[in-house]
Amino acid sequence: MSSSRAKAQTAIEVLFIAGLVLIGAAIILPGYMDSNTDTVVLMHVKNAADNACSYLGTGVAVEDPEHSSLNTLIEGVNYSSISCRVSRVFVASSTKDSISLNVTVIYSGPLDVGKVENAISGFIESWLESKGFSRVNGALSYGGKTVSVTVKVVRR
């Protein structure tokens, strides 16, 4: 076999191997990127819900726009601590274009469940916007996905 023919065969083999690697990456990466986006969104929503409960537990209202929805609750109990904990955060559904998450919060106190749900939902949205989520047509968006968060509050 001549030298140039051996080089040509080697070049073809290298191109074949490179093609296999690229096809493998094209098959694996999209699924990985979607699940990675879902994980990041889930982490941010859980952190926001945890921060809301921690803030309510202090019983102290800080005058800033981010906490305004929670301040209403604290003022409603005369600046007392509100016992609150995040029970569950999970991805309810996820598609290529959207992700829906459910958050369950357990609290005790005289506050109306609906008011607590609205306050924590407002705080989570505000928190997410401050962490790089954007608003597209009124809905939260991250990594090209529309993000929907449903907060359910249970009084114990």
Q: What's the pLDDT at 36?
A: 83
User: What pLDDT does 19 receive?
Assistant: 73
pTM of the predicted model as reported, rounded to 2 decimal places: 0.78
Distance CA 83, CA 104 (A): 14
* pLDDT at residue 64, rounded to an integer: 87
Find the Cα–Cα–Cα–Cα dihedral 41, 118, 86, 58, rounded to 10°.
110
What is residue 14's predicted lDDT score, i.e. its pLDDT? 77
The reported pLDDT for the residue numbered 130 is 92
10 burial level (CB within 10 Å; 0-12, 13-18, 19+): exposed
- On whether the CB atoms of residues 147 and 94 are closer than 8 A, the answer is no
Q: For residue 93, give the H/E element and its range.
A: strand 83-94
Beta-bridge partners for 108: 83
Position 129 scores a pLDDT of 93
Q: Domains of the chain (ranges plus CATH)? A: 35-155 (3.30.300)
Whole-Å CA distances, 53 to 25, 49, 74, 128, 154: 42, 6, 11, 15, 13
**pLDDT tens by residue, the chain, 156 residues:** 577 777 778 878 877 787 777 777 666 656 555 558 888 999 999 999 999 999 999 989 998 888 999 999 999 999 988 999 999 999 999 998 999 999 999 999 889 999 999 999 999 999 999 999 999 999 999 988 999 999 999 998
pLDDT of residue 90: 96
Rounded CA-CA distance 53/152 in Å is 13
